[in-house]
Amino acid sequence: MSSRPDDTQMIRAYDADGREVLITRDQWRSNVLPGAIEQDWNDADRLAGLIIQSLNDGFVDDMVRPAERLVELDQNAERAVVLQAIVYMKVGRLDDSERVLLAFCAQHGETGIVLTNLAKVHAERDDEARALDTLWRALQRDPNQDNGLGWFEAIHRDVGGDAAGITAMRKVAALPGSWRARLWLARGELGSHNYAGAIALYREALSHAGQPVPADLLLQMSGDLGNAGRIAEILELAAPHFQIAAHGLPVGNNLIKANLHLGRLDDAQRILDALRALNRPDWRDNLAYWDKELAQARPG
């Protein structure tokens, strides 16, 4: 049985005026996607974005030619080859996927994300030992890859249970520049009500993350603290690092919510106004919700 989406399912899109429209997958493939590919054919950033979105939407076969074109076009050779390798892997061309990844490593040197995708090729071939060895090399080069880290932890947890998963996270957390593993370890400490331990891990993560702090870090940290009821700590730890252009609506949502919860309405309003100034049509409904919440929270 195919796991690919049914062509009668709907795709959410936005028209020229920013209004949401829904069309079937078959209509998208026939009437929209070819024109989008043609329009983005000579723009590497737009073509890469189209490939990523199309893969997320399940239009895999349609992306073989665009991915090959991106390799010709893109000055970001790593991005291009990773997308090409993913497309090849998803259509079952494992040898081609491995070939382009190894060629990149030979020319540019090994990088974390390229090695992680090479590990996925080995895993698709059921070569588990080689996949794990390659994945560890990938994490040594970039310990903050979300997919690579989660996969590494899952491999160990599947074999040795939660304790083995935690040990694997600690192993990655000890690598130079590692911050993401500390986020996951902090989540565990919050679950055990060891709030001081979690805060210490968050501070360590922030100290290793550089500037601007990655949006993923602020989003997970603020979300987990909120779920644990530690609202004041969200503003203490996340708010000083929040930059509108870098972190946008996802982190902004959590900070607005925290400020509202603590009655800091003016601070919430400032974040809301700054988000609105970015003129994102896809944020309109979310920002309108916060307008309503702020209006209700203000006296009389």
pLDDT reported for residue 19? 75
Q: Tell me, yes or no, whether 17 and 129 share the same domain.
A: yes
Q: pLDDT tens digits, the chain, 300 residues: what are they?
A: 334 455 557 777 766 677 777 888 888 888 889 999 999 999 999 999 999 999 999 999 999 999 999 999 999 999 999 999 999 999 999 999 999 999 999 999 999 999 999 999 999 999 999 999 999 999 999 999 999 999 999 999 999 999 999 999 999 999 999 999 999 999 999 999 999 999 999 999 999 999 999 999 999 999 999 999 999 999 999 999 999 999 999 999 999 999 999 999 999 999 999 999 999 999 999 999 999 999 999 886
**Residues 126 and 37 placed together within one structural domain of the fold:** yes
Residue 272 lies in a domain: yes
Rounded to two decimals, what is the model's pTM? 0.82
| Residue 146 falls inside a structural domain | no
pLDDT score at 8: 55
Domain end among 107, 137, 167: 137
Total domains in the chain come to: 2
In a domain, 250, yes or no: yes
pLDDT computed for residue 2 by the predictor: 34
3 state SS of 264: coil
- For residues 116 and 222, state if they share a domain: no
Whether 39 and 121 share a structural domain: yes
What DSSP string describes 199-235?
HHHHHHHHHHS-SSPPHHHHHHHHHHHHHTT-HHHHH
137, 171, 198: which is the final residue of a domain? 137
User: Is the residue at 132 inside a domain?
Assistant: yes
**126 and 216 share a domain?**
no
Domain assignment of residue 199, yes or no: no
Does residue 127 share a domain with residue 247? no
Q: Are 102 and 11 found together in one domain? A: yes
> How many angstroms separate the CA atoms of 254 and 295, rounded?
18
| 181 found inside a domain | no
CATH classification of the domain holding 85: 1.25.40.10
Distinct helix (H) and strand (E) counts, the chain: 16, 2
User: What is the rounded distance in angstroms from the CA atom of residue 165 to the CA atom of residue 161?
Assistant: 7
pLDDT at 3: 42
Domain residues for the domain of 54 are 7-137
Return the closest-CA partner of residue 250 out of 210, 287, 291, 292: 287
Examine residue 50 and state whether it is found in any structural domain, yes or no.
yes
Residue at a domain's end among 84, 111, 137? 137
Q: Is residue 196 part of a domain?
A: no
